[in-house]
Amino acid sequence: MKHLSYFKWLALAAIADWFISRTVTRAAIHIPKTSTMITIYAVVNQAGQIIGTFTALLTLALVGWLAWQNRHTLWLSITLTGLAGLSLLFLVVVPSTRSMLIYQLLAATVTILILKQREEKPKKLWWQWGQLAVFFPATALLAGLLYQLLPNFYATMNWPGPPPLTGTLFHLGELFVIGSVCVWWWMFGRTTNWQIWVISAVPALFFALSFWHDPAMTGILTIWSTGLTLILPWPVYTVALWLVGVTVLVTWYNQPLIAYAVLLFVAAGYTPQLSTQLFCALLGLWLLRQQMSWSQEGVNLVSPTKYRQQVAI
In this predicted model, what pLDDT tens digit does every residue of 120-132 receive, in sequence order?
555 455 556 678 8
pLDDT in tens, 131-184: 889 999 999 999 999 999 999 999 999 998 788 889 999 999 999 999 999 999
**Radius of gyration (C-alpha) of the chain in whole angstroms:** 20
Which of the residue ranges 24-28, 95-99, 109-113, 225-229 would you say has the lowest mean pLDDT?
A: 24-28
Compare 248 and 37 and report the one with higher pLDDT: 248
Average pLDDT in the 180-197 region? Answer: 93
* pLDDT for res 127: 55
Report yes or no: 263 and 11 within 8 Å, Cβ to Cβ.
yes
Average pLDDT in the 95-123 region? Answer: 85
96: left (phi over 0), alpha (psi -120 to 50) or beta: beta
DSSP string, 18-69: HHIIIIIGGGGGGS---HHHHHHHHHHHHHHHHHHHHHHHHHHHHHHHHHHH
* pLDDT for res 1: 55
pLDDT band at residue 304, thresholds of 50, 70 and 90? very low
Whether the upstream peptide bond of residue 162 has omega within 30° of 0, thus cis, is yes
* pLDDT for res 311: 35
SS3 of 92, please? coil
H and E: helices and strands count for the chain:
13, 0
CB within 8 A of 256, min separation 6: which ones?
A: 4, 8, 304, 307
